[in-house]
Each structure stands twice: as structure tokens, then as C-alpha cells.
Structure 1
Amino acid sequence: MAAKGGFNARGTVRPCPGFNAYHDAENLRSAMKGLGTDEDAIIELLTSRTNAQRQKIVEAFRSSYDQSLIEEMKSELGGDFESVVEGLLLTPGKFDAKELKDAMEGAGTDEHVLIEIFGTRSNKQILEFAEAYQSENGMSLKEDLQSENSGDFENLLLSLLKGKRDESLAKVDARGKQNESYHVDESLAKVDARGLFAAGEDKWGTDETKFITVFCRRNFAHLRRVFEEYYQLTNKDIEDSIKDEMSGSLEMGLLALVQYTKNPAGFFAKKLYETMSGAGTDDRGLIRIIISRSEIDMVDIKTEFLKLYGKTLYSFIHDDVGGDYRKILLRLCGLDDDE
């Protein structure tokens, strides 16, 4: 739930009080133009400003020096540290658009990245990254999705791209008090659960379209109720039915949507663990999740991470990466909260 001032209290990056975009732009220029680059000053400033504030700094830098702050940073920095700084200075829509483009470029498509972004963004965010994608690439996101994907998984992504998920709020709870939770239609939840059963377990073959429609149109609180009703009806978890009835990318996509619906913070905690477990680090994934969730629910993600893996997210990042790259990630995930 968003706190006063338009920021989310569950994020680790908060608005800077007394913010002055032109003052910050001047400090960033000084950090780049002295003898060597003052990376610590860059880290301190960028991680203590929200994206909305950073966008004003980008504008102020252009106004004051007639230069692109992103291009100046890229000329001074390098490696994964540069990637984090660039991600912080892009609007969320442009950042998601860049990640989607990267996921579809080259040999093969990273379906896991596509479903992570499409399945966890609001209707407004989907519209913003679709517009940014068109603007940056001169090609519609829909066209690239169609050329890089196929079958039911393509249909799932295209349905999510429409941004038609119900986002209506239940303004008054059962006790008559104001709240901001999503509206749940109990009778429709029962209908949806029966519809999913009829489309899968209760027939020869599977009606994938029914699953796609319900998963892409209903709000997440409603879907959680549908999953409960489904279990009551079938004595089977919806995830088990998906595993039995689906395969390939569609199975992966629907399971990801179920897992995010049930526990958003847990979903991202597992994603972060996967970026750092095994041989090597999925730096793109690590950077994407840390940046995209830092103002939304990183506090909850850290709690889930500790619960799932018995170690803090701080310690995982600290042990997995180094240098200024480590410093900036630790600041974004709220190092003071852990250590």
C-alpha cells in the first residue's frame, strides 16, 4: 500500500527530503569531472533518490549542461556498475522495454524474463513499457512478441500485453472500513474455479484459452480466491493441475503467474536466489529485480528471502559480487536494515 507522498512504505528506496534536482545534477557532474570518478558520491546520491526524482535530475542535467546524464555516466563507468546506474536513470517503462528487447535479441528467447515482466506489472506499467518499446526500437512490442514466440505462450503474452487485468478496488471491507484491497466477487470466483476445472481436469484435452483468460483478466486477490475454490472443488492445487495439463513455456508461464499471485515477495525472493545460485551470476536478472522492486516491496522480499534460505539477501549479494557493483546493489536493497 502506498504511503503518503506517493511512495510505497515496503520499498527500500524512499524520496529524498529537501530534494533539489539542479543541486544534484551539479554534484553528479562534479563526481565525474574531477581527478578520477567519485563512484561513492554517485552511489550515495542515486540510491537515495526515487526514480521520479532521478528523472528530474536527468532533466536538470540536460538543462544545465546540454548533455545526456546517462551518456556521460556511461562514458565514465563500466561493467555491471554502469548497468545499474543506467537502469536507475531510465524511466521504469524504458527500463522494462530494454529488458524485454534484450530477452528477445540474439539466438533464442528468454521466456522467463518475458513472463516475469508481463506478469508482475500493472496495466499502466504495461502501457508505459509498450510505448517505450515502440519509441526506442521503431517496432511494436506486439510484433516482436509474435515473431519471437509461438502457440499458447504467445497467446498468453499477447493477452497480458492488452493490460486488461481488473484493478478495481474494494473501497469498503466487510466491517465497513475503508481499505485498498482488490475487489473479490465470490460468486464469480466459484464460476471461474468451475470453468478452470471444466477446461482441464474434467475433459479430454485442455482448453488453454480459458486458463489464459482467467489468469490475465482477474485481479490477484480474486485469483487467490479462485485457487482456494479450485482446491475445494477438486482437492487438488491449481499448480498440480497445470503441471498435469500443460507443458513447455505455457506451463512455465502459468505457474509463474500462480506463484506471483500467491506470494509476490516470495516469487521475487526465489528469482533473486536463482540469479546468484549455481555457477556464475545472472547479473541482468539480479540488477533488474533489485531496481524494479526497490521502491515497491523490497522490504518484504528480504523477509521472504531470509525465511526461504536462512541467510539475508544482503549476505548473498555481498558474497556473490564485488566492488562498486556490490556497493550500489546493497544500498538499493537497504543495507542498513540488515547489517
Structure 2
Amino acid sequence: MWIQSFLPQMNSITNLHIETFDRNMNFDLIRQLIHCCHSSLQNITLIVYNIYGFNGQTLEKLFQIYIDMTEQLHQFQSDWWLDDCRPPVFVLTHSVKTHKLDLNFILRFLSSYNCAQRLILVHDLEFEYNYNLIDMVLEQPESPIRSCTLAMLIEPIELYVRDFHDLLILKLNDKSNSDISRKLVQIVLPLDNDDTQKFKETYKNLFENSIETDIEVVQGEKTIISKLLIQLLEGQRNEEPNHSLSATKLIAKKLSEGVEGGKPVIDYDIFIKIFTHDAFAQLSSIFDMYEDQYGYPIQVAIEHQCQIPIVEYTRSPSGYHAKILRQALDKEPIDYTTLIRTIIGHESKDLCEVKLEYSKMYDETLHQTIEHRIDIAEIKKIFVVIIATGDDLTPRNGEEDCSGDKDSSSSTGAPLNAITSKVMEKKSKHSLDVLEKFAQILKIRTSN
């Protein structure tokens, strides 16, 4: 290749501009070029178009730093430059064609379908019409609407993985932010053993790196949070509901042995091993016995070094998620990422129980809070539809609707029933050629 022939002559370059359309570009040659002339370089511009394998790992090899490529433009300073020059490096990546999408329209359309139906629709659009709707959405500027639309198009596990990766990037730039660490744990804590394996595989497929490696890079190899996350991701929890009373007493006693300044201190290596391997029913009994026998809340002892409320999940998973929703709604600005992950991600799982617990904890329904606080109309509509209908539009025969929003005395009862009826009516009107119609509308809207 031409670069190889010029490498010996390029040890005094000050400005380097590389632009390529070669989809199979050999980035090792670019790395060699940068290495040869890095002592004299003052500016580098790298422009690529739809290059296979161009991502954060590619940049890490080129400049030996860790960088996220989810944004279109990055300016960064490479620690690899060992001289005093330390030139700024600009990297611009974009597609040859960017599709302009009406995300509000797509959200309205998708609101008529449950999670499984939406996934089929996305698959069929790509198979029948070569529309990769997920990639088209990812091309749009970042916004809560884009995040919500993407969440409606992908499996919950992929939603969790993408959020986890985004949080790692944020944590990389804000090491002291304990709120980010708390959210990382919130994402992986509810996963069962099978979901944990799928989570790791999805992360590897999307970001071409081991999630354990990324956690250690961002959180540090020996930190409590790093150990907790990695052991949770091993997926080795005992999922049998039974628990042993003798084991409960023994473990509770073991946890209580540490004391510092007259206060109990948890041995975190022991705690993390227990917390990531024992069944949740067993853990709940252990924590109750610890507090009964030693008169000290175990969460307080844990927070001596780890400010993450993980104990409450073992006692009430739905209450844990209800609290997460409330905290996201209380934030200024509203934490839409957490709301989207929790409401859409739990749509076909346990949102029904979360809604019930929310109503008990906060003396108002989740729907009422959404109506009063969400300030983006299309997201509000999506949330209301999901909260009102869940994964199934009507309760199964002989089963009681557990939405928690159907109380006839509630001021929201009528609107929610109206929404449910409207969605059912919309579903009944969708004909067998809905896929073709949606594809045609997309074609019109992306060609403008």
C-alpha cells in the first residue's frame, strides 16, 4: 500500500489529514504512520466513511486511549504523546447517507404493539425491505425521543446493555460519581442466570470487548463496585426458592464479626460472594436475622464503604424499581434514560407489580405521576399506554387486572380505560399488510 512506501519519509510531519472511503481500511498502517511522526505532529484529522470495525477499540489501538464513538465528533488529548507538544486530535465519523426519521411518528405507530410484536416488525422490515430501522434511529441526534424510540425497537436485554455501556463511558469521565455506579448495579442486579449470560454475549457482540475488562478499566480492578458487578455477571446465583435456617444463622454471624470504631463493618469479600451466589429468599432471611440479633441495619453497615442500596432489592424487587422510578422523576432535569429503561424494559416482565408497589409507596398511581411530570408529549403518551395496558391489553379469563390504575374512585380511572379501549380499537384495525404500509411511509419520510 502507498502508505508503507512513504513511512520512512514521514518523521517530520506537522499536519496530517487522512480521509478514506475504503471499507476494509487497514488501520495498522495508520497506526504506524502516527507512530513514525508523532514527535512532530501538531494536528491530525481522520475522516472515515462506513468503515468496517471502526469503533472505540480501533481508536484505542491508534492512540492508545479509551474513547466512546457514539457521538459524531470527538476532540481529545492523547496521553500516549510523551513529548511536550501533545497535539489535539480530531476524529470525525459519519455515514455516507443519514436517514431523516420522524421519530414521533414511529413512536406513535409502535405504541399499538407489545414488545414481541415490535421485534417481529423490526426483523421483517429488514428482511423484506432492507430497512435496518435500529441503525437508522441510531443515526439521529441524541435526545430522549431517540432513546425512547430505540428502546421500543430492541429487546430489553439489549436496552440494558446499551445503557450499561453508556454509563461506563460517563463513569470514565467522572470517576467520583457514585450515582453512575449505583445505576450500573441497578441494571445487572435483577438479571437471572440465563439473562446474565445473554447480557454478556450481547455486550460482546455490540461493542467487541469483554464487559469484565471494561468494568475494570472504568471502575478499577480491586474496587468494591468492580468486584460486585463482575461477580453478579458470573450468573452463578442459586435460583431455588428454598433456604436453610442453619446456614442463615451461620452467615449472619459471620457478617457481624467486623467492628470498627464501635460500629459493625462488613467484610466485603464475604458479603459480595454471598450476595451474588445465594438465593434472594436466603439473602432476605440472612439480613433480617443480622438485624434482629445485632440491632443494626445491614444496609447502614454496607454503606460504610459502598453507598449503593442493594439490600432492599432482596426484600422487594418491585419496591426497589418503584423507588428507582420515583427518583428518576424527581430529578431536574428528569432522568429519561432510567425511566425508559425501567418502564419499557419491564413492560413484559414485572411492570404490573412495580405499578402496584409504586401506588402503595407514594399514595398516587404511576400514571398520575407521569401525567403531571413528563414534559415530552410523545414519551408521555408511550408511557401511559404501556402503564395502562402492560404486555396484554386485557386480563386473562378469571384473572384480576393488577394494574393498580383501575380503581373506579381514582380520578385517572376513566382516562386510563379510554386509553386501553383506544389501543384495542387501533389493534383491531391493523390489517395484514401493515408491514408494507409502514415500509412505504418510512420510504417517503426518509427520502425527503
Q: Decide whether aligned partners of structure 1 residues 308 and 56 sit closer, same or farther in structure 2, where only a CA change above 3 A counts.
A: same
1:324 aligns with 2:378: yes
1:49 aligns with 2:49: no
The question of whether the paired residues in 2 share the 8 Å contact of 1:55 and 1:90 is answered with yes
The question of whether the paired residues in 1 share the 8 Å contact of 2:203 and 2:210 is answered with yes
Q: Match for residue 311 of structure 2?
A: 258
* Corresponding pairs, count: 285
Give the Cα separation in 1 of the matches to 2:292 and 2:248: 12
Task: Kindly state the Cα deviation for residue 206 of structure 1 after the two structures are TM-superposed.
Answer: 4.6
Give the Cα separation in 2 of the matches to 1:145 and 1:137: 13
The amino acid of 2:143's aligned partner reads G
TM-score by length of 1: 0.76
1:231 aligns with 2:291: yes
Give the Cα separation in 1 of the matches to 2:118 and 2:102: 25
Residue pairs, 1:1-339, within 5 angstroms? 38-39=105-106, 41-45=108-112, 48-50=113-115, 52-72=116-136, 79-106=143-170, 107-108=173-174, 110-150=180-220, 151-168=223-240, 182-199=241-258, 206-243=266-303, 246-247=304-305, 251-253=306-308, 256-321=309-374, 322-334=376-388, 337=403, 338=405, 339=412
TM-score by length of 2: 0.58
Q: Decide whether aligned partners of structure 1 residues 135 and 237 sit closer, same or farther in structure 2, where only a CA change above 3 A counts.
A: same
Task: Kindly state the Cα deviation for residue 67 of structure 1 after the two structures are TM-superposed.
Answer: 1.6
Task: Kindly state the Cα deviation for residue 200 of structure 1 after the two structures are TM-superposed.
Answer: 5.4
The amino acid of 2:283's aligned partner reads L
Give the Cα separation in 2 of the matches to 1:36 and 1:293: 22
Q: Match for residue 172 of structure 1?
A: none
The amino acid of 1:271's aligned partner reads I
SS of the residue corresponding to residue 111 of structure 2 reads helix
Comparing 94-103 with 68-77, greater Cα deviation is found at 68-77
Give the Cα separation in 2 of the matches to 1:137 and 1:36: 25
The amino acid of 1:219's aligned partner reads A
The question of whether the paired residues in 2 share the 8 Å contact of 1:39 and 1:324 is answered with no
The question of whether the paired residues in 2 share the 8 Å contact of 1:200 and 1:207 is answered with no
Give the Cα separation in 2 of the matches to 1:142 and 1:34: 35
The question of whether the paired residues in 2 share the 8 Å contact of 1:272 and 1:289 is answered with yes
The question of whether the paired residues in 1 share the 8 Å contact of 2:280 and 2:314 is answered with yes
Comparing 295-304 with 66-75, greater Cα deviation is found at 66-75
Deviations 1:261-285, CA, capped at 9 Å, x for gaps: 1111111111111111142101111
Q: Match for residue 70 of structure 2?
A: none
Q: Decide whether aligned partners of structure 1 residues 323 and 217 sit closer, same or farther in structure 2, where only a CA change above 3 A counts.
A: same
The question of whether the paired residues in 1 share the 8 Å contact of 2:249 and 2:289 is answered with yes
The amino acid of 1:134's aligned partner reads K
Task: Kindly state the Cα deviation for residue 105 of structure 1 after the two structures are TM-superposed.
Answer: 0.8
Task: Kindly state the Cα deviation for residue 85 of structure 1 after the two structures are TM-superposed.
Answer: 2.0
Deviations 1:120-176, CA, capped at 9 Å, x for gaps: 2111111111111111111110011001113122111111121111112xxxxxxxx
Q: Decide whether aligned partners of structure 1 residues 203 and 237 sit closer, same or farther in structure 2, where only a CA change above 3 A counts.
A: closer
The amino acid of 1:91's aligned partner reads E
The amino acid of 1:86's aligned partner reads L
Q: Decide whether aligned partners of structure 1 residues 36 and 260 sit closer, same or farther in structure 2, where only a CA change above 3 A counts.
A: closer
Task: Kindly state the Cα deviation for residue 36 of structure 1 after the two structures are TM-superposed.
Answer: 10
SS of the residue corresponding to residue 257 of structure 2 reads helix
**Where do 5+ consecutive residues of structure 1 fail to align?**
1-31, 169-181
Task: Kindly state the Cα deviation for residue 90 of structure 1 after the two structures are TM-superposed.
Answer: 1.3
Deviations 1:70-111, CA, capped at 9 Å, x for gaps: 234567898323321211211222211101111011412611
The amino acid of 1:126's aligned partner reads T
Larger proportion of helix: 1
Give the Cα separation in 1 of the matches to 2:104 and 2:214: 39
Give the Cα separation in 2 of the matches to 1:75 and 1:313: 32
Give the Cα separation in 1 of the matches to 2:101 and 2:263: 70
**Where do 5+ consecutive residues of structure 2 fail to align?**
1-98, 394-402, 406-411, 413-448
Q: Decide whether aligned partners of structure 1 residues 319 and 77 sit closer, same or farther in structure 2, where only a CA change above 3 A counts.
A: farther
The amino acid of 1:42's aligned partner reads F
The amino acid of 1:238's aligned partner reads I
Q: Match for residue 177 of structure 1?
A: none
Higher-Rg structure is 2
Comparing 229-238 with 261-270, greater Cα deviation is found at 229-238
